[in-house]
Structure 1
Amino acid sequence: MGNTHPGATSPLGMVSACAYSGAYPTGYGRYAKNTEGVPEEMFDRLQASGFTHFQQSGTGAIRKYYNYVRVTPMVQPLDDLGQSWPLEDERAEAGYYAANLDTGVRCEITVGEKVAVHRYTFPDHHSARVVVDLSCGGLGIDLGRTIPLRAQAESMGHGRAQGTVVMEGIPLSVFIEVESPGWRQMLWYDRRLIPGGTRLDFDSIRHTTLRPFGMLFMGPTRAGQTIEVRMGFSLRGCDQARANLERECGAAGDSAFETVKARTRASWRNHLGRIQVDGGTPARRTVMATALYHSLIKPCIADDESPNWPDPGPYAFDVCTMWDIYKTQMPLLSAIAPDRYGDMLESLIRVCEEEGNFPIGYRMARGADRFFRQASALAHTALADAHALKRPGIDWTWALVHMVDDLRRLYGEDFWEHGVVHPITHTLDLAYAHHCTAKVARALNDHRLAADLERRSQGWINAFDPATGLLKDSEFYEGGKWNYSFRLIHDMAGRIELAGGDRAFARMLDRFFGYGCEPVKQPGRGPDPIEMAAGYALNRFEGLNNEPDMEVPWAYHYAGRPDRTAEILNSALTWQFGTGPGGLPGNDDSGGLSAWYVWASLGLFPVAGQNMFLVNTPAFERATMQVEGGEFVIETSGFRESPIGVDGIDRDPAPQYVQSATLNGRPLHATHLTAADVHHGGRLHLRLGPEPSDWGHGNRPPSLSDPHPKEQR
């Protein structure tokens, strides 16, 4: 369950659109909500009651899943609204989704940054209709609905209508144009038409008082006749929604579908073309392209759309799983979409100013999702990296003020006073955030502040039990102490010494990854809690379905064993990802997991907050990234293609190991690069071989207590 959907999206755009079943995970699926094991099926087929807008991508058990403004093409009476029909002949491309309803209607959708355009091809019928349901929201499962708080709808005639629904405190406005000459339009409430009515107003809606409402357009169709529905969205009112529609779709009366589709397709081609790979199996190239696509759907970044502050500027939402994306996806956006990445950081700073916290999760809702259990103070890593790269457009003095203030909020207050806080993982988060903030403070010549922050950043050691070399007993979110004990903190040299040195640390990692152990039986449908508890008690790598484990394969680098990293990455890339349904090993988490795949396939891993990339064996013979400084090329010699079965899937490829490396023609003995090395462009050459070498054993990545390691300890 990657929890993604095949609907139409634009790169980092505000609007998405997809078929709506009401089931988990995104409203497109057919499952009941679950957090462990294989999910229970709600339906035995793909089906839809219409097509909704604003979907999550890859998230797990978060509170709500938008699915606002449902559009349903019908040849049935309005009483049948909400009924689901089988989906047939689905087709999905970047920026485009199409399917047949078994009512005989062909449905196509494309989106721009702030618009959606639907095209419906009807059968011959005396009374076809397009129904817009403004009351729809969330999922059709227990406690899954999102109820509008207030709403208004207006029928303006001549195929035009508009409305605003306040969902979770946010006013979502839509302006609609329906190209349907000769059709009638009306408002409806509780599945009853309101003849002659031009406006609906609801000042207060509750779960007990909600009745569906919206607009309807209807008239006769001949076989093969198409009806186009153009929709502009805004979080700042109907006038801006109309302006967005005109900007992206052109004048009323003009067909916009092909124009918007072509523009979004070109935008996707531009974004996806920023990483090119050669070699590797067809399956790997397919998964790589898909992973890059999923990495560029979220967050949604909309210019001049904040409903919470009136000023112009970028507004980013669906920063839903910061505890995943700060490690992988945010560094990817920084590398290949730096302008939009800068807009996201600017928006996060503004959220902190307006709401008092850097968000751990931030959706299209009033107030940040604080996700107290997951993590603390994660935006500091992205800001530290951006400052080190001299990102323009950010007032760094202003940013530093908010970085420092945020360290004292929530769990940070206890850390400030005691140097340790439970859940113990927050101690690591906060110590690391102090380190990142100290780097910005020192660069801005506030040396007194920097010294204090650096001293507090050493509190990472308070999280560990010297007797075991692992984290202290505590509560852990989606994992246990083993999952969290191998994070790439700012003082890995000190952390390895605490574990007993290189060999002892490597042995702990070997145990975690199951070297020499029997395979673990995976849980099935509805696993018993006893079975799940026994699995967690193994203290093993759970695979990449668990965000704390994302960075752990790279911890071997700090112990001088990059060969182990190569083995684990080769296994994960081969066996945990595929081209069909179920091709992701767990929640994609807003692109965090897919971005991990992109980096691992390139043979790089960004160490967020440390302005550094770790280097290992890539999955492709050659790759090129378009970065600010031009091209960063990763090329290999001795690359061996994996054996392929008849179905195109890799067949048990043996890992390859780096024998030597050069950067821009000069020998590279270390297993790391600075982020500037990558962002400024250059050429990394890796000579590969079938056996481990001594490359990287003696020159480790820097650590706080050992910033220039040279010799093997």
Structure 2
Amino acid sequence: MYDDVDPFIGTEATALPAPTGLAATWWWPKPQVGNTHPGACFPLGMVSACAYSGAYPTGYGLYDLSTEGVPTRLHDRPLASGFTHFQQSGTGAIRKYYNYFRVTPMIEPLDELGRTWDLIDEHAEPGLYSATLENGIEAQLVAGPRSMIHRYRFPAHPNARVVVDLSTGGLTIPYGATVPLRARLESVEPGIAQGEIVVEGVPLAIYVECDAESWRQMLWYDRRLMPAGQRLDLDSIRPTTLRSFGLMWAGPSEEGQAVELRIGFSLRGVEQARTNLHADLGELGTFDSRLAGTRETWRGLLDAITVDTPHAQRRQVFATALYHSLIKPCFAPNESPFWPQKGPFVFDVSTMWDIYRTQLPLLTALLPHRAAELATALLSICEQEGNLPIGYRMARGSDRFSRQGSALAHTLLSDLAQLGISGIDWDWALVHMQTDLRRTYGEEFLLQGRAEPLSHTLDIAYGYWCTAQVAGLLGDDALVAEYAPLADRWRNAFDPATGLLGASTYYEGTRFNYSFRLLHDMAARIALAGGDAAFVALLDTFFGYGADAVVQPGERPSPEEMAAGYGLGRFEGLNNEPDMEAPWAYHYAGRPDRTAEVVHGIVHQMFGPGRGGLPGNDDSGGLSSWFVWACLGLFPVAGQNLFLLHPPAFARATMRVARGELTIVAENFVEPIPGGPVQYVRSVTFDGEPVEGAWLDGCDVHRGGELRFVLGDSPSDWGREHRPPSLSSSPEPAPVKEAS
């Protein structure tokens, strides 16, 4: 799948064919752009690097800040003032941004640092980004786990240079700049320099090697060269006193001369940055050897899933979705800048409210040991800082996302415990799962029986249920009994008169977008709505059955236009994630055929090739991982160790899972066309045994085997009577065997 990936998918405004049928009734409230970047990334690596135009939100691209509708352009073509490190992946507004250590190859005077050049002949593949600046300098960047190597090829020129600017950060849009608080920089010896900036409360160190042996190595401050050998120390930097500063290698270049800049990064000082660089470089220590290693790692991961299709574009869109699902979070073991202990550490858990449903289950399926490492890192953060994070960036005090969600890490921990994944101290985990449930909105939940916004009532009640699953596996029956009535408080969020959530303020949606979440007691949820028929009627209205096509927001939509759109109470069509699990609510009411129709419209009309191929922000792989699961015919119910089944989007697929290989076969499969007919499930077998209900236990999926669908062109009775497990209608699950 490596050769099929196109990292440029999602980098520009949505440019998909006009939707038809059911998909034409869905309304998109959020920015119509993927907000991805094509830069060099290592799988779950610490650092990324990409061309820098200063645009929102990654630093790469063309657009101004945008939170609704079609994004407004800042630039009419790809531009760059250099190449920066640390970027978000597909997120929207998260206040501050990275883009530290801008490297600029130049044949112009230093005074022109900061100007932009046209980008020509851009190329990207997993781990590698390259482009040519209009001044003729060719740039290539390759990522390692904690390092980045730049290679520049210069034209013949008497005054070529490579400039590293340590003073820049953030974006060039208003209020987007990030200013370092303190900095130090020094030349160590010819070809080697090191330094550290403290930015957003975090000490970020670099160790730099440059192989331009005949060039001069210099420090500079305020665009003026400093005397040779001098060290630069800046103890107190303010936005009003900031002057640019950095280091530079300069000298005459021959035609095609290559200069390599190798940079190691650390949150624990320059010595650790040096160690990280040399560990990443290995014995050969060159750009080409690092590229070979990065390619091999990406190939191994991307080959974990294969799909069978004769259409190159469909394979490309799927492969790229898998790629985007494996960029974040950033794993940086033994690198916490906030506490001295060794152990797992992560950052860029930027959108837990987006990734907990599909991206974290995908990570658990493909890389269970990394999922366990992530869980331990999150628990360490809770131990040190008092809460399991909802969002966690490379910044002190960075969990400022409490309005988005509560108790979401509990779903990951519940799944890992039920799967028997090793590597986690579960007694320790249970303590922190309990503690976190009482933070922020948790006290209101305990005292009042509900929390506002009401979506947090659902979060916290589900968090109590997930915690009870872990407690039960540990034999703490008293805690299970204590948490049962608390987990049942999800009811307090609903209005029995409407069958929907009550009036409240909802983040990035309305009560409709949150009313069809997959709870731990869907049988009771459906009963609250008046039974199967009433619940299906609510879903049908939400998904636009029988409704007219809608007009999507344009550039800078008015408040009145947005209010009218939200007033529709309509599915967001994966332009945003609050209702991304809602299509599978039909399963619990015995209508998996409806799920098939909705998912078909999303998979085949909301994703496509090209830079405009995503319907909305990718949100750290939350959107892309949804697409991966949907194409496989599986949907993970996060926290419940459960997968719901629907028609796959390929005739055959294989997936490397924790204990073997899962093969997915779709008999009678017809290659789809946008707007074409839906296929329905007529029957399913798993390892030759009939599957009567539209679901599988997660332990079966993680064990592997053959999942075989028989498809047809009309709905059948499959999945109508045997409903997925639900607290008030299902027996207790059987004990789970230890996983490898």
Q: Indicate if the aligned counterparts of 1:64 and 1:146 stay in contact, CA closer than 8 A.
A: yes
Q: Which amino acid in structure 1 is aligned with residue 243 of structure 2?
A: R
In the TM superposition, what is the alpha-carbon distance from 1:250 to its structure 2 partner?
A: 4.2
1:436 partnered with 2:466: yes
In the alignment, the residues of structure 2 paired with residue 653 and residue 286 of structure 1 have an alpha-carbon distance, to the nearest angstrom, of 20
Q: Indicate if the aligned counterparts of 1:91 and 1:98 stay in contact, CA closer than 8 A.
A: yes
Q: Indicate if the aligned counterparts of 1:280 and 1:620 stay in contact, CA closer than 8 A.
A: no
**1:391 aligned to 414, 421, 428, which one?**
421
Q: Indicate if the aligned counterparts of 2:351 and 2:620 stay in contact, CA closer than 8 A.
A: yes
**1:681 aligned to 680, 683, 704, which one?**
704
Among all aligned residue pairs of Structure 1 and Structure 2, give the percentage whose two residues are the same amino acid: 61
Structure 2, gaps ≥5 residues long: 1-32, 733-740
1:442-482 CA distance string (max 9 Å, x none)? 22111111111111100000000010000010001000000
Corresponding residue number in structure 1 for 2:177: 145
Superposed counterparts of 1:248-397, under 5 Å:
248-250=280-282, 256-279=286-309, 281-397=311-427
**1:496 aligned to 511, 526, 534, which one?**
526
Q: Indicate if the aligned counterparts of 1:464 and 1:470 stay in contact, CA closer than 8 A.
A: yes
1:33-74 CA distance string (max 9 Å, x none)? 010111111111110000001110000011122111110000
Corresponding residue number in structure 1 for 2:255: 223
Corresponding residue number in structure 2 for 1:698: 721
Corresponding residue number in structure 2 for 1:658: 681
Corresponding residue number in structure 1 for 2:26: none
In the alignment, the residues of structure 1 paired with residue 731 and residue 285 of structure 2 have an alpha-carbon distance, to the nearest angstrom, of 62
Of structures 1 and 2, the one scoring higher in RCO (CA 8 A, sep 6+) is 2
Q: Which amino acid in structure 2 is aligned with residue 681 of structure 1?
A: G
Q: Which amino acid in structure 2 is aligned with residue 279 of structure 1?
A: T
In the TM superposition, what is the alpha-carbon distance from 1:197 to its structure 2 partner?
A: 4.4
Q: Indicate if the aligned counterparts of 1:160 and 1:176 stay in contact, CA closer than 8 A.
A: yes
SS for the counterpart of 1:456 is helix
In the alignment, the residues of structure 1 paired with residue 282 and residue 291 of structure 2 have an alpha-carbon distance, to the nearest angstrom, of 13
Q: Indicate if the aligned counterparts of 2:278 and 2:285 stay in contact, CA closer than 8 A.
A: no
Q: Indicate if the aligned counterparts of 2:352 and 2:391 stay in contact, CA closer than 8 A.
A: yes
In the alignment, the residues of structure 2 paired with residue 141 and residue 478 of structure 1 have an alpha-carbon distance, to the nearest angstrom, of 23
Corresponding residue number in structure 2 for 1:645: none
1:208-257 CA distance string (max 9 Å, x none)? 11111110110000111110100011111000101111112246xx6510
Q: Which amino acid in structure 2 is aligned with residue 6 of structure 1?
A: P
Q: Indicate if the aligned counterparts of 1:419 and 1:459 stay in contact, CA closer than 8 A.
A: yes
In the alignment, the residues of structure 1 paired with residue 600 and residue 332 of structure 2 have an alpha-carbon distance, to the nearest angstrom, of 38
1:150-206 CA distance string (max 9 Å, x none)? 110001231110000111111110000000021101110111111224211111111
Corresponding residue number in structure 2 for 1:70: 102
Q: Which amino acid in structure 1 is aligned with residue 139 of structure 2?
A: C
Structure 1, gaps ≥5 residues long: 643-649
1:463 partnered with 2:493: yes
Q: In the superposition, relative to structure 1, how do residues 85 and 374 fare at CA in structure 2: closer, same or farther (>3 Å)?
A: same
1:669 partnered with 2:692: yes
Q: Indicate if the aligned counterparts of 1:661 and 1:684 stay in contact, CA closer than 8 A.
A: yes
Q: In the superposition, relative to structure 1, how do residues 586 and 556 fare at CA in structure 2: closer, same or farther (>3 Å)?
A: same
SS for the counterpart of 1:33 is coil
Q: Indicate if the aligned counterparts of 1:228 and 1:255 stay in contact, CA closer than 8 A.
A: no
SS for the counterpart of 1:314 is coil
Q: Which amino acid in structure 2 is aligned with residue 321 of structure 1?
A: T
Q: In the superposition, relative to structure 1, how do residues 383 and 280 fare at CA in structure 2: closer, same or farther (>3 Å)?
A: farther
Corresponding residue number in structure 1 for 2:111: 79
Corresponding residue number in structure 2 for 1:567: 597
Q: In the superposition, relative to structure 1, how do residues 611 and 255 fare at CA in structure 2: closer, same or farther (>3 Å)?
A: closer
Q: Indicate if the aligned counterparts of 2:605 and 2:674 stay in contact, CA closer than 8 A.
A: no
In the TM superposition, what is the alpha-carbon distance from 1:429 to its structure 2 partner?
A: 0.4
1:637 partnered with 2:667: yes
Q: Indicate if the aligned counterparts of 1:329 and 1:595 stay in contact, CA closer than 8 A.
A: yes
In the TM superposition, what is the alpha-carbon distance from 1:342 to its structure 2 partner?
A: 1.1
Q: Indicate if the aligned counterparts of 1:280 and 1:621 stay in contact, CA closer than 8 A.
A: no
SS for the counterpart of 1:673 is strand
In the alignment, the residues of structure 2 paired with residue 190 and residue 370 of structure 1 have an alpha-carbon distance, to the nearest angstrom, of 34
1:36 partnered with 2:68: yes
In the alignment, the residues of structure 1 paired with residue 555 and residue 103 of structure 2 have an alpha-carbon distance, to the nearest angstrom, of 34
SS for the counterpart of 2:275 is helix
4+ residue stretches of structure 1 with deviation over 3 A?
Answer: none
In the alignment, the residues of structure 1 paired with residue 168 and residue 698 of structure 2 have an alpha-carbon distance, to the nearest angstrom, of 45
SS for the counterpart of 1:549 is coil
Q: Which amino acid in structure 1 is aligned with residue 411 of structure 2?
A: T
Equivalent residue pairs, number: 700
**1:240 aligned to 266, 272, 278, which one?**
272
In the TM superposition, what is the alpha-carbon distance from 1:653 to its structure 2 partner?
A: 2.1
In the alignment, the residues of structure 2 paired with residue 167 and residue 666 of structure 1 have an alpha-carbon distance, to the nearest angstrom, of 57
In the alignment, the residues of structure 2 paired with residue 269 and residue 302 of structure 1 have an alpha-carbon distance, to the nearest angstrom, of 21
Corresponding residue number in structure 2 for 1:628: 658
1:638-662 CA distance string (max 9 Å, x none)? 11112xxxxxxx3422110000011
Q: Which amino acid in structure 1 is aligned with residue 45 of structure 2?
A: G
Q: Which amino acid in structure 1 is aligned with residue 507 of structure 2?
A: Y
In the TM superposition, what is the alpha-carbon distance from 1:280 to its structure 2 partner?
A: 6.0
Corresponding residue number in structure 2 for 1:646: none
In the TM superposition, what is the alpha-carbon distance from 1:594 to its structure 2 partner?
A: 0.2
Corresponding residue number in structure 2 for 1:587: 617
**1:168 aligned to 162, 181, 200, which one?**
200
In the alignment, the residues of structure 1 paired with residue 702 and residue 398 of structure 2 have an alpha-carbon distance, to the nearest angstrom, of 31
Q: Which amino acid in structure 2 is aligned with residue 15 of structure 1?
A: V
Q: In the superposition, relative to structure 1, how do residues 11 and 336 fare at CA in structure 2: closer, same or farther (>3 Å)?
A: same
In the alignment, the residues of structure 1 paired with residue 330 and residue 683 of structure 2 have an alpha-carbon distance, to the nearest angstrom, of 41
Corresponding residue number in structure 1 for 2:127: 95
Q: Indicate if the aligned counterparts of 2:49 and 2:143 stay in contact, CA closer than 8 A.
A: yes
In the alignment, the residues of structure 1 paired with residue 128 and residue 98 of structure 2 have an alpha-carbon distance, to the nearest angstrom, of 19
In the alignment, the residues of structure 2 paired with residue 402 and residue 280 of structure 1 have an alpha-carbon distance, to the nearest angstrom, of 49
SS for the counterpart of 1:609 is coil
SS for the counterpart of 1:589 is coil
Q: Indicate if the aligned counterparts of 1:151 and 1:164 stay in contact, CA closer than 8 A.
A: yes
In the alignment, the residues of structure 2 paired with residue 24 and residue 8 of structure 1 have an alpha-carbon distance, to the nearest angstrom, of 18
In the alignment, the residues of structure 1 paired with residue 328 and residue 674 of structure 2 have an alpha-carbon distance, to the nearest angstrom, of 33
Q: In the superposition, relative to structure 1, how do residues 279 and 44 fare at CA in structure 2: closer, same or farther (>3 Å)?
A: closer
1:265-298 CA distance string (max 9 Å, x none)? 0000000010111136332211100000000000
In the TM superposition, what is the alpha-carbon distance from 1:419 to its structure 2 partner?
A: 1.2
Q: Indicate if the aligned counterparts of 1:638 and 1:687 stay in contact, CA closer than 8 A.
A: yes
In the TM superposition, what is the alpha-carbon distance from 1:708 to its structure 2 partner?
A: 5.2
> What is the TM-score of this pair, normalised by structure 2?
0.94
Corresponding residue number in structure 2 for 1:134: 166
Corresponding residue number in structure 2 for 1:416: 446
Question: For the aligned residues, what is the CA RMSD?
Answer: 1.1
In the alignment, the residues of structure 1 paired with residue 232 and residue 272 of structure 2 have an alpha-carbon distance, to the nearest angstrom, of 20
Q: Which amino acid in structure 2 is aligned with residue 35 of structure 1?
A: T
Q: Indicate if the aligned counterparts of 2:369 and 2:423 stay in contact, CA closer than 8 A.
A: no
In the alignment, the residues of structure 2 paired with residue 388 and residue 367 of structure 1 have an alpha-carbon distance, to the nearest angstrom, of 32
Q: Indicate if the aligned counterparts of 2:84 and 2:102 stay in contact, CA closer than 8 A.
A: yes
SS for the counterpart of 1:442 is helix
Corresponding residue number in structure 2 for 1:526: 556
Superposed counterparts of 1:10-49, under 5 Å:
10-49=42-81
SS for the counterpart of 2:291 is helix
Q: Indicate if the aligned counterparts of 2:142 and 2:291 stay in contact, CA closer than 8 A.
A: yes
SS for the counterpart of 1:55 is coil
**2:573 aligned to 540, 543, 552, which one?**
543
Corresponding residue number in structure 2 for 1:602: 632
Q: Which amino acid in structure 1 is aligned with residue 678 of structure 2?
A: P
